Amino acid sequence: MSFGEVVAVGEAVVPLAGKTAEVVSKVHALWATFFPAAAGKNRDNAEFEIWTNRLSLLQQANEKSRLLGSEFVSHVVPLSFAKPFVDAASLQDEPSLQDKWANLLVNSANASSAVQPRVAFVTVLNELNDFDAMILDKLYAVMTHDRDARYGAVTTELPEKATAWHNHAGPDHPPSEVAVSLSNLARLGLILVDKDGGRELLASVGPTKFGRAFVAAVNAPERTVDLGSNSSS
């Protein structure tokens, strides 16, 4: 099945969600069992929101693949990746993270991409909130583009910015919210954190090979631009 066909199927299936009364009823019953405080209006919207999240994801991914043009060559991703991807991505309604799920789908389904469809990418992305993702992007932006920060970045001026040591003129420790995020990123293998005994030293962090691969997988691919196509006739 081609990438476009997947999107078409998604658009056709979503409206049917409202007709599966028996399934939706069972979902509502489970929802009320585990989340009794949210058993009113929210439970009635749960299944619909899951389907609309899927549709939004497919539409975003389709547009991203269209913008890649001939650089997007669709290939089949393994079921071992596709199933956990759909399950996790369907629950995400934060726009900035939806964008990363769409990027992961396009990159994983693109035969021209170096990104491999790893289940680990799904697991890790599912354990990030939007603040974690923003911190990670800022860290790898400086560790990728600043030669003086290739092996590590200073975190103490986050969330505003990450810096190289030679540009550091801020406080000695990151704010508490940033520190929690950095600890989570380190737990997931996305950054390296030094330790003094059992204490994490979070004023600076380093990259990991997995972290670089993950960031590449969940961010939009840089398209090769044909400058000649933009020239005036």
Name which residue leads in pLDDT, 185 or 7: 185
For the stretch 83-101, pLDDT in tens is 999 999 999 989 999 999 9
pLDDT the model gives residue 20: 40
pLDDT the model gives residue 89: 93
Q: In the predicted model, is pLDDT for residue 1 greater than 50?
A: no
For the stretch 120-129, pLDDT in tens is 999 999 999 9
> Position of tokens 């609309």?
52
Say whether the peptide bond before residue 84 is cis (omega within 30 degrees of 0). Answer: no
Average of per-residue pLDDT values in the chain? 81
Nearest to 54 by CA among 91, 17, 28, 21: 91
pLDDT the model gives residue 32: 53
Tokens describing residue 102: 């769409």
Q: What is the pTM of this model?
A: 0.77
pLDDT the model gives residue 222: 67
Share of the chain above pLDDT 90, in %: 52
- Domains of the chain (ranges, CATH numbers): 3-97 (no CATH), 130-218 (1.10.10)
